[in-house]
Every structure is written in C-alpha cells, then in structure tokens.
C-alpha cells in the first residue's frame, strides 16, 4: 500500500503517520524529517536547505523529487510506504505519478487531514515551545500556512479528480483521528 498524507502544518500528519506505519508495517517517509537530519549532519544538502526551511518556504521541487526517487527505491519501501510531507506542489505530484507509472505502480490512497483554521492556529500556538523547531516561530508558522494554501492545497483537487482522495476529520483526539484514518485506508 502506498499512501500520501496531505494536510496543513499542525494537522497531526506526523503523529498519525508514525501510528499507521507501525500498525500497517509501512515505511514512514517524512521529507521534513529527512531534510532536518541533513541540516543536523551539516551535509551539503543540509547547508543548501537550512535557510529555506527556517523561512517556511519550500525547497526546490527538483531537489526533493530526487530525494524521494532514491528513498522509495530502498528495500524497506518495497512493502509500501506513507509519504508524509510529499508531494507539496502539483509539479511534485506529477513527478510522483510518473515515477510510479514507470514501475507499473500507483498511489493507493491520498488522505487529506481536515481541520478548520481556528483549531489549526490554536494547535500551532501549542506546538511553539513544545517542540523546538526553528520553523515554529509564529511568523514562520504563518508563512508555512500561507505556502500550504498557495502551493499544496491545490493537491486536494488534483487527487480528488483522480478518485484517490479520502478525507479524515483531524479535529478529534489522536486516537479518534487514527480510527478515522484506519477506516479511510481500509484497515
């Protein structure tokens, strides 16, 4: 099973991805985690992306597409995976479709975590301080949300018109959301 998680920053995608990954034995592929690891290592990639990430912008499509191409070719991804944080633009989604088509494969489900703006802002406020991420500063959070609406939200329509989209109410407790998620992916 190949699953894509979509949703604004603060919707709880990372937590749900970890839970589904252990429940369904799927690799959890988080592009944000991979990039943060590169920054922490001080690799060339890390140096290239740090300031972009700290400002709440997206790193270049070509760069992240190459990272995903390599990652999904690793042995632990053959049994299936959850893409958490990729694709984030229509260009990335088209590249993913093309990449999979070459292997005769496709994405099985795209889960959209739905949360209204008031709830989202209060969750983001709670996250400040709780996690020490450089991009959790309030100005950067707002920028991340703006970038999400502008560049990532169109993917809901993109996948909706291709019939793969499943909406999950992300406003409940972690366990409630997980139940909805399991239903959405047929587990």
d(CA 69, CA 66): 5
Per-residue contact string for residues 47-76; x = within reach of ligand AMP by CB under 6 A: -----xx--xxxx----x------------
Task: Based on the shown chain and the rule CB under 6 A, indicate whether residue 16 belongs to the binding site for ligand AMP.
Answer: no
Of 133, 166, 167, 182, which is the active-site residue?
A: 133
Alpha-carbon dihedral sign for residues 141, 146, 152, 156: positive
Task: Based on the shown chain and the rule CB under 6 A, indicate whether residue 35 belongs to the binding site for ligand AMP.
Answer: yes
Q: Binding segment for ligand AMP among 16-24, 31-39, 69-77, 176-184 (CB under 6 A)?
A: 31-39
State the SS3 of 127-150. HHHHECCHHHCHHHHHHHHHHHHH
> Is 144 known to be catalytic?
yes
Identify residues 146-175 at the interface with ligand AMP (CB under 6 A). Answer: none
> Is 88 known to be catalytic?
yes
Q: Is 177:160 a contact under the CB 8 Å cutoff?
A: no
Task: Based on the shown chain and the rule CB under 6 A, indicate whether residue 17 belongs to the binding site for ligand AMP.
Answer: no
15: tokens are 């937590």
> Residue 92 CB, nearest distance to ligand AMP (Å)?
6
> Is 2 known to be catalytic?
no
Nearest residue (beta carbon) to ligand AMP: 32
Estimate to the nearest angstrom the gap between the alpha carbon of 28 and the chain centroid.
10
Of 71, 91, 123, 127, which is the active-site residue?
A: 127
Kindly tell me the burial class for residue 65, based on how many C-beta atoms sit within 10 Å of its own C-beta (0-12, 13-18, 19 or more): buried
d(CA 149, CA 66): 24
Residues designated catalytic: 13, 88, 127, 133, 144
**Footprint on this chain of ligand AMP (rule: CB under 6 A):** 9, 31-32, 35, 52-53, 56-59, 64, 85-86, 88, 92, 135, 144
């Amino acid at each position: 099973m190949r699953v894509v998680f979509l949703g604004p920053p603060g919707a709880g995608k990372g937590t749900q991805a970890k839970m589904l990954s252990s429940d369904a034995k799927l690799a959890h592929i988080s592009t944000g985690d991979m990039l943060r690891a590169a920054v922490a290592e001080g690799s060339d990639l890390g140096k290239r992306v740090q300031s972009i990430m700290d400002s709440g912008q997206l790193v270049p499509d070509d760069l992240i597409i190459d990272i995903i191409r390599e990652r999904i070719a690793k042995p632990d991804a053959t049994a299936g995976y959850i893409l958490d944080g990729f694709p984030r633009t229509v260009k990335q989604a088209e590249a993913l479709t093309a990449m999979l088509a070459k292997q005769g494969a496709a994405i099985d489900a795209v889960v959209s975590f739905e949360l209204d703006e008031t709830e989202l802002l209060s969750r983001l406020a709670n996250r400040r301080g709780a996690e020490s991420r450089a991009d959790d500063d309030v100005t950067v959070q707002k920028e991340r949300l703006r970038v999400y609406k502008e560049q990532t939200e169109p993917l809901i329509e993109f996948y909706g018109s291709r019939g793969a989209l499943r909406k999950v109410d992300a406003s409940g407790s972690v366990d409630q959301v997980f139940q909805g998620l399991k239903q959405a992916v047929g587990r």
